[in-house]
Amino acid sequence: MTEIPKNHPRYESLRIRELLVRGVEEGVTSKAGLIAHGRGEAFDYLIGERTAEEAELAERAALGALLSAKNPVISVNGNVAALVPRETVLLSERVGAKLEVNLFHRTEQRMKAIRVKLEEHGAVEVLGTEPDAKIPGLDHSRGLCTEEGIFSADVILVPLEDGDRAQALSAMGKQVITVDLNPLSRTSMCADITIVDNITRAFPNMLTLEPLEIDLDNRENLSGMMKLMCKTLSSLYE
Ligand code: PTJ
């Protein structure tokens, strides 16, 4: 890893980038994952790189939904595995959710590398490498999943997800929860609960926050986040 001086004003942001670069080198993260992260960073600037009130509410609502689910599943991709492997495992333990690797740019090598990474961080069982079901409406390998996990899940947490797949999961009647810094993405718009926060803050928060069982108005929550972004921008003009 590149040595980043701790007193660099952008230390945290550079440290997170290095995690992704290492993820690519380990065969965990796709190259496209680096681009996706850059898009996320831009939106993170607009929310002041901190957890907003709306995001905290969504994090608590997500915990409530996962805890009251019959078969909750956390879907893990290459960015999630690089950024928050330990927190992902701890969160799955906290809410009793299964872990399943599910990739947009699927290769058998990356599926295995992510499974091994999660196991190294304490996961006992990681589904996904032996798929036996398909998400209806998704072509090619993007739709592959397991019957025991994603296919039969009633509540699914799909962080940093592609819009097509989020929509397909929603069409299956599942309650979809996402973490996405872009409140305008198709995933953010179609999810039942969207946490507009950096996953590097959202997952650690979700290990300690109090769960809340509420019927979150996702549209209202998203519009709160968009207003915050506008406010941050306009404050720069004042
Ligand atoms: O590992 P794979 O093959 O499954 O691929 C993973 C990526 C993320 C490359 C793939 O799912 C993809 O292309 O996703 P998208 O369509 O770019 O969507 C990712 C969303 O996550 C975007 O809206 C980004 O703004 C957002 N995002 C990126 N980094 C973060 C983030 N949201 C929260 N925290 C982040 N660190």
Atom 14 in ligand 1: which residue has the minimum CA distance?
Answer: 162
Cα 101 versus chain centre, distance = 12
DSSP secondary structure string for all residues of 221-236 = HHHHHHHHHHHHHHHT
* The pairing of beta strand 144-145 with beta strand 133-134: antiparallel
Closest by CA to 26, choosing from 68, 85, 71, 99, is 85
How much is the pTM? 0.96
The one-letter amino acid at 49: E
Phi, psi of 111 (to 5 degrees): -55, -45
Closest by CA to 165, choosing from 140, 184, 182, is 140
The structural domains of the chain, with segments of one domain joined by +, span: 53-235
Give dist(CA 134, CA 70) in Å, integer.
20
Could you tell me where the beta strands, DSSP code E, fall in 31-174? 72-76, 98-101, 126-127, 133-134, 144-145, 155-157
> In CATH terms, is domain 53-235 a member of 3.40.630.10?
no
- The tens-digit pLDDT sequence of the chain (238 residues) is 667 778 777 888 889 999 999 999 999 999 999 999 999 999 999 999 999 999 999 999 999 999 999 999 999 999 999 999 999 999 999 999 999 999 999 999 999 999 999 999 999 999 999 999 999 999 878 899 999 999 999 999 999 999 999 999 999 999 999 999 999 999 999 999 999 999 999 999 999 999 999 999 999 999 999 999 999 999 877 7
Q: What is the CA radius of gyration of the chain?
A: 17
Contact 195, 178 (CB under 8 A): yes
Q: Residue 129 C-alpha to ligand 1 middle, in angstroms?
A: 21
* Three-state secondary structure call for residue 199: helix
Nearest atom of ligand 1 to the alpha carbon of 180: 32
Question: What is the reported pLDDT for 127?
Answer: 98
Q: Residue 187 C-alpha to ligand 1 middle, in angstroms?
A: 10
- Find the helix or strand (DSSP H, E) in which 78 lies: helix 78-83
Task: Identify any residues that bridge with 157 across adjacent strands, giving them in sequence order.
Answer: 74, 177
Residues whose CB falls within 8 Å of the CB of residue 200, separated by 6 or more in sequence, listed in order? 16, 83, 84
Residues whose CB falls within 8 Å of the CB of residue 68, separated by 6 or more in sequence, listed in order? 213
Nearest atom of ligand 1 to the alpha carbon of 200: 36
Pocket probe for ligand 1: among 160, 184, 196, the residue whose CB has the most ligand atoms within 8 Å is 160
Cβ 233 under 6 angstroms from ligand 1: no
